[in-house]
Structure 1
């Protein structure tokens, strides 16, 4: 099968970026998380936390960017490509924050399917916050449960990645594909 789209997701601070970076170092094709870009672009425009101040606008920008990534992944000449988060992540966060969104969000998630979902569980020992990650660990736990349920609602069966070193987690993922 060509151009299999493989999502690596999980709550904030679960090690997604570290694994994506390690996969890339191993020569794997990867598309990186875009929420930090959206957040930084908003900060340049004077909006400190776009998601908190204008959650629907932020989510529309994320959905658009992730749909672009999905379409970009289809153009790769590769057996598979890894994506740091997928379209359903947008819906999961909107549901977590109890923010209404148009039905098109669901339609986009239903019509643009991924081949495999890996989910990283919350892990207090590696969790850190920074300028773009404002959630507490307790909030990260709740977000993680929304991610699980959202992916399942769209018919996926996420594979949980065990709490191991970055190298071991990366090997686990590669062994499963």
Structure 2
């Protein structure tokens, strides 16, 4: 049995991480977002905002980490594995900041395919900025648009997850997966 790789993505502050934690609490295997780890590692090295100061290096680290996660799915014995963001998020963010990136970024995204993509829209009522989330809500809305377009450009069909309680969102995702897998 091949494990289905399911990406949960969305702009900053869309409730994505809370949803992933809920899925994990419910017993689903998940692979967590790694960008905060990359940010904190850079801050320990004296670089306050690595993405802003060196977006290519930051994005290389993210792509490398997400590719590693993608390959870790081969060791998963569950039928479904959830990812908190996928590799196309990297190029979507680069497109958002209008920064050219090496061709191997896109090649990596094209060669390593996820099975389903769920996108959470911006949700102003739950949006909060913090030390690692520096984007305004308006920027989060634009990032959401770039994420959708980015995944679609790689040939993915996007499933929009409606706003609502975490439980309602999880029910939506699980029901959708039962109908398509």
Secondary structure of the structure 1 residue equivalent to 2:82: strand
Question: What corresponds to 2:68 in structure 1?
Answer: 68
The 5 A counterparts of 1:104-143 are 104-143=104-143
Question: What corresponds to 1:97 in structure 2?
Answer: 97
Give 1:80 deviation, angstroms.
1.0
Question: What corresponds to 1:19 in structure 2?
Answer: 19
Question: What corresponds to 1:157 in structure 2?
Answer: 157
Give the distance between the partners of 2:98 and 2:2, measured in 1 at CA: 37
Aligned length: 177
TM-score after normalising by structure 1: 0.99
Question: What corresponds to 2:43 in structure 1?
Answer: 43
Give the distance between the partners of 1:122 and 1:7, measured in 2 at CA: 17
Give the distance between the partners of 1:121 and 1:73, measured in 2 at CA: 26
Deviates more, 1:26-35 or 1:121-130: 121-130
**Aligned Cα root-mean-square deviation (Å):** 0.7
Secondary structure of the structure 2 residue equivalent to 1:125: helix
Question: What corresponds to 1:78 in structure 2?
Answer: 78
Give the distance between the partners of 2:102 and 2:29, measured in 1 at CA: 32
Question: What corresponds to 1:33 in structure 2?
Answer: 33
Runs of 4+ in 1 over 4 A off after TM superposition: none
Which runs of 5 or more residues in structure 1 are unaligned?
A: none
Question: What corresponds to 1:7 in structure 2?
Answer: 7
Which runs of 5 or more residues in structure 2 are unaligned?
A: none
Give 1:158 deviation, angstroms.
0.9
Give 1:176 deviation, angstroms.
1.2
Give 1:2 deviation, angstroms.
2.4
CA shift digits 1:127-168 (9 cap, x unpaired):
111100000000000000000100000000110001110111
Give 1:74 deviation, angstroms.
2.0
